[in-house]
Structure 1
């Protein structure tokens, strides 16, 4: 092997970590061998050793480690032998500290806990961090985000990344691509991980401080994962479709000017699933604003949302919030109570993950916060009914944006027989609703019980996140979505302890 004219990556890594002295390297190699032996269940790895002469040859790329020695080095330093013996990059590389074994074990448990997670904190390029793949389910397309893990220590109601990582924090957050920081407490004997958006960290690092605090409320549990999974998926899909959605939005008027309209999903093959859902949501919301006015009786929404990905639209799409505001305004002073019907059969509950069901509860809490009474039925016969809004005794409007075969379906009727048929279905479901309690928070508790969610835990976590805010956790980039719905739902559900 030819001697390199510039330092190897191995030399750069060891120099950065002050392990270039052979005696220091030997101790670190022995410790890494013991950890690798436990990790791979191969006791012989604990006996790996080398001579000073061989070590010097590794440093200059004249000789390559082999066999068990190579296995331990790759496990320890997070790079292949080929990369380690190759030249260090000409650019300045700032290396992060090696995570504690317990922190790496906590990362592995994330993928076990969440079926759509594939988290790797060791990246292919030195100093560049790892990647977190978030699979999409149903209408979500799936995405990936850069991540970097740091050791932290608890301090009050925060965890703190210390001054020894400040240089790499600045290096990692300098790029404007989306990225997340993960703080681990493995070195402190704790299993929890904490997440912060790199953009928020970058703003904090502009201040003359040598530590980066992350709120304890940002602990990576089912609720925080649900918010990250939904928001990052939706945001990235809409960014991918940004130009196409702008063009299609300009073409909608010809469809919306008609009394009824529908668009097949096949007509928009280039849109992501989320992009198609947003376009349908926008078309339906615009149609509703034109056709829904003050009514003598309170309006009722029949939703076809059954899963967390669909609920993400209600939480993030700005037009969905406008629909709720419109229903609230149209029902002001009207007879009865405005409401929303969800058809969620038991099979949908069983086939969805806990974090998906938390998104459903947040969407329901958002609707209750607007004064809409949430009704849940579990009859499969009604689960595929198109989404509509009915003003009893006056008219009904079909505004469906969640059909698997159509981007949107909009229609309006004042025919008494059609209105009565829809009103009968609504009355039947309301009379058999799982959420029959008299107050919003009691209904939310009933919904949580049906969805298999720990209500007391959810209230506590919503209150914690609402208190800190989610600006440091979610940094949305698409102008088509907002976090206001999530913040409102968290605040509403977090108030439940004082309301029940």
Structure 2
């Protein structure tokens, strides 16, 4: 007995097998396709004879021309796929989405220049894909997605029981995936995201709906965290074995008083993998060469873009250095802190969600009791990352040089360290993030970064997201990173209040 066509299976699943229902849905699809492709002729694909319809269902006649265009747009499969046999496995299809849901998905690509979201299923039941391109450092990644219609509740949006079968089907795989919930049918353009693993744990219980927290609404803050977190995590997973091997060789590098490695020496590593290796090497070097009596209360970082700031939010080694500076600066003269150089060209050349990552990284530093100074002169942006000790010893530990994975050196002597001390003094004296308190400094930096018009809303959003926690939104898999400090930065920023 011949297996039914995929077209038959799709229409049966969606209760569109009746001829009168099919032609009604086809007419609606033609109107949408005409608008989407800006081709008015497609809106005239409204009728088909009952005989032709039956031949399409059986696979003995193929839709052609404008009818084929509309059907492929409508159902998300090619005509060849639709007229072929349905898979022998049980076919679990998601419900059709409201037009407003597709529009909301498209708006993400308009709002965020690194987003390419396709919610159409390339194969039955598999969902869509969300591409998130990198910019200067991030390598770019893609994550499986599935969008569902949801209903707004007091503290969440809820995907209802009619979608639970497909939810369990989609989340049963252990691959990384995201669920997107749309309120399009209710007249809202908001989308909400949830990690599939988090959903899978909830669906293991006898639930009648799947809630997604209101704080997981997709906006500049949540997109920034997903964009950075997914990119960093996937790149490190791809380099996992190579980085494990390289870690075994760290001892020789950090024992020496000077060491460097060109980027070309690690051509097989991803950009993020090389960034992590440099960060780890520099952190080990600092821990090894800064004794208790020579701990630097100040450091200079060449971080100026969101992709670089993401490392401070995610890399365990960066968190360890902040802890080191806080703990070992106790009782020493001077103010422990970090100087950055963020030229106006970097501000103008980055998107708002990138600048949000930079602001969060600064908030994280301030949460450890470090004062952050930000100068803007372009010449200072080329300085390597360094720690300035009270004994006039400079520890160069640079992991953000585009041509080198790392460059570490211990430099002593007043003449050799004067230039570093002068740069630090300049940043402290000319900081655009000036103020006596973290609140004043971070607010001033937000002004410089062009984020102040949304300051009150941003503070409220960080407080909301930080209080709830990001574990259900961003689930990382690499053991080399620790996303928990993101919540710390969100909570600190959200606790500053909405007034300066």
TM-score range, shorter chain: over 0.9
In the TM superposition, residue 45 of structure 1 has moved relative to its aligned partner by: 2.6
Separation (CA, whole Å) in 2 of partners of 1:297 and 1:65: 75
The 1:373–1:254 alpha-carbon spacing in structure 2 relative to 1, beyond 3 Å, is same
In the TM superposition, residue 135 of structure 1 has moved relative to its aligned partner by: 0.7
More divergent stretch after superposition (300-309 vs 285-294): 285-294
Give yes or no for the alignment of 1:208 onto 2:206.
yes
1:263 corresponds to = 261
The structure 1 residue matched to 2:450, chosen from 439, 449, 452, is 452
The structure 2 residue matched to 1:46, chosen from 22, 40, 43, is 43
Q: What's the CA shift string for 1:294-344, capped at 9, x where partnerless?
A: 458861110000101111111100000000000111111111210111101
More divergent stretch after superposition (367-376 vs 60-69): 60-69
The 1:233–1:297 alpha-carbon spacing in structure 2 relative to 1, beyond 3 Å, is closer
Contact 2:456 2:498 in 1 (8 A): no
In the TM superposition, residue 133 of structure 1 has moved relative to its aligned partner by: 0.9
In the TM superposition, residue 456 of structure 1 has moved relative to its aligned partner by: 1.6
1:348 corresponds to = 346
The structure 2 residue matched to 1:19, chosen from 16, 28, 37, is 16
Q: What's the CA shift string for 1:282-301, capped at 9, x where partnerless?
A: 11111111122345886111
In the TM superposition, residue 197 of structure 1 has moved relative to its aligned partner by: 0.7
Separation (CA, whole Å) in 2 of partners of 1:133 and 1:491: 29
1:473 corresponds to = 473
2:30 corresponds to = 33
Separation (CA, whole Å) in 1 of partners of 2:389 and 2:455: 33
Separation (CA, whole Å) in 2 of partners of 1:222 and 1:190: 17
Return the TM-score normalized by structure 2.
0.97
Contact 2:157 2:213 in 1 (8 A): yes
Separation (CA, whole Å) in 1 of partners of 2:366 and 2:293: 20
Contact 2:255 2:288 in 1 (8 A): no
Q: How does 1:86-485 map to 2 (within 5 A)?
A: 86-295=84-293, 299-453=297-451, 454-485=454-485
Unaligned runs of at least 5 residues, structure 1 = none
Separation (CA, whole Å) in 1 of partners of 2:219 and 2:194: 13
Contact 1:159 1:213 in 2 (8 A): yes
Separation (CA, whole Å) in 1 of partners of 2:35 and 2:283: 57
Separation (CA, whole Å) in 2 of partners of 1:382 and 1:244: 34
Separation (CA, whole Å) in 2 of partners of 1:170 and 1:443: 47
Separation (CA, whole Å) in 2 of partners of 1:352 and 1:381: 19
Separation (CA, whole Å) in 1 of partners of 2:291 and 2:188: 56
Contact 1:298 1:335 in 2 (8 A): no
Separation (CA, whole Å) in 1 of partners of 2:387 and 2:489: 22
Return the TM-score normalized by structure 1.
0.97
In the TM superposition, residue 426 of structure 1 has moved relative to its aligned partner by: 0.7
Contact 2:456 2:499 in 1 (8 A): no
Separation (CA, whole Å) in 2 of partners of 1:86 and 1:28: 22
Separation (CA, whole Å) in 2 of partners of 1:238 and 1:297: 31
The count of aligned residue pairs is 497
Q: What's the CA shift string for 1:380-417, capped at 9, x where partnerless?
A: 11101000011233421111111111111111123122
The DSSP-based 3-state class of the residue aligned with 1:195 is strand
Unaligned runs of at least 5 residues, structure 2 = none
